[in-house]
Amino acid sequence: MSAIPVPSFVWAFAAYLAASLFSALVNHATLGPTGLVYVARQAQYFVWFLIAAQFAPSISERTFKRGFGVIAGILLIWWIGELLQLVPKIGRFSTVGDRLTLNTSGPYETAILAVIIFFVAPARWQKIVMFAVLLATQSRITIAAFLVVWAVARPGRNALLITLIVPIALVFAAASPDLFQAGRLTQTQSPAAMLQDLRDRFDTVMHITSIADYRALVSQGLHDNVDYQTGDASFQVRAFKWALIIKSLGASTTQFLFGWGPGAWGLAVDGHYVRFLGEGGIVGFIAAMYFFALSLTGRDAPRIYRLGFFCMALSCIFIDAATSSKVMSTLWMLAGYFHSRRYRRSENAP
């Protein structure tokens, strides 16, 4: 049996990883081992591609998908446990009582994971459960991303259903405003308003020249620099962080080309495209976008992997999803399994 060929999106990921490693080395004097650890973490997630490619010939697609169905059932039980307060919440979102977290690093990872399982799980009830989990996370960008990906998955039928459902939902919302008055969806700004706020922030924030400046303004001084009463509070925080990070690339030619290093901006930039740019500079950003492009459009990228990656890529507008352990490990597993299965089928074809 011949070796499985390496797909184009894996080569692109290797190029992105190399760019990240170079950035970590360039910034090692100021960043320390943090950048190397972040690169190692992403390489660790990729191991699931290799593992899945190895076990793919011995596990049927039916059995593999049933496994994801079992995960859907476990997440349902966990959700019920959170609702009944039998399962405590941990982490940064432990105080957010009305949002489902499933004890991940927050509802955002849970939302993307639910969408991925939705497309893999075989039974209809499992898909319904995963959609309910998605709604319970209240992750606005991932809910919107799911609708886009779902429409793309079966453009004829699903796009028609969305066309019919959206007007009904709008009429229902207009008829029952009290149900949505305190919800997160009502706090969402329009794209034009977001762009204007980001532009204003870019004009007003200071030009930082070190990671210490950023941490002082964000970690210790966020409440002093962000007006939580204007517009969407979560976007106001994002706009402040993004403006600081983008302007920081002008600190030097090195920062412009190679960024400040992986992990330089802490746990939450709340926008992975800005994180790519701030951590890897222009070189790292281009490498990341090359990886994204081949994962979304490459002919050798398995369909289920592309659908899950598409949801993740859309969510990356407002979420640091591309280095999430649960999301990327799952996507790499799907990529390795279905790439190996497809190659073995073509190899055994008469």
Secondary structure (3-state) at 183: coil
Tell which residue, 302, 309, 291, 306, has the closest CA to residue 338: 302
**Alpha-carbon distances, residue 292 vs 297, 307, 321 (angstroms):** 9, 12, 13
Over the Cα atoms of the chain, what is R_g? 21
What are the residue boundaries of the structural domains of the chain, listed by start? 21-31+188-322
What are 253-282's pLDDT values in tens digits?
A: 999 999 999 999 887 888 999 999 999 999
What is the predicted pLDDT for the residue at 103? 58
Report which of 256, 254, 284, 258 is spatially closest to residue 272, judged by C-alpha positions.
Answer: 284
**Residue among 9, 39, 18 at smallest CA distance from 293:** 9
* pLDDT digits 0-9 by tens, 208-240: 888 888 888 887 667 777 776 666 778 888 888
Question: Which residue in 316, 259, 274, 327 sits closest to 19, CA to CA?
Answer: 259
Tell me: the pLDDT tens digits for 334-343? 999 999 998 8
Closest CA to 71 of 35, 118, 39: 118
The predicted structure's pLDDT at residue 290: 97
The mean pLDDT value of the chain amounts to 84
Given pLDDT bands bounded at 50, 70 and 90, which one contains residue 344? confident
pLDDT at 48: 97
- Which residue reads 């701030």 in tokens? 278
Q: For position 173, what pLDDT does the model report? A: 44
pTM score: 0.88
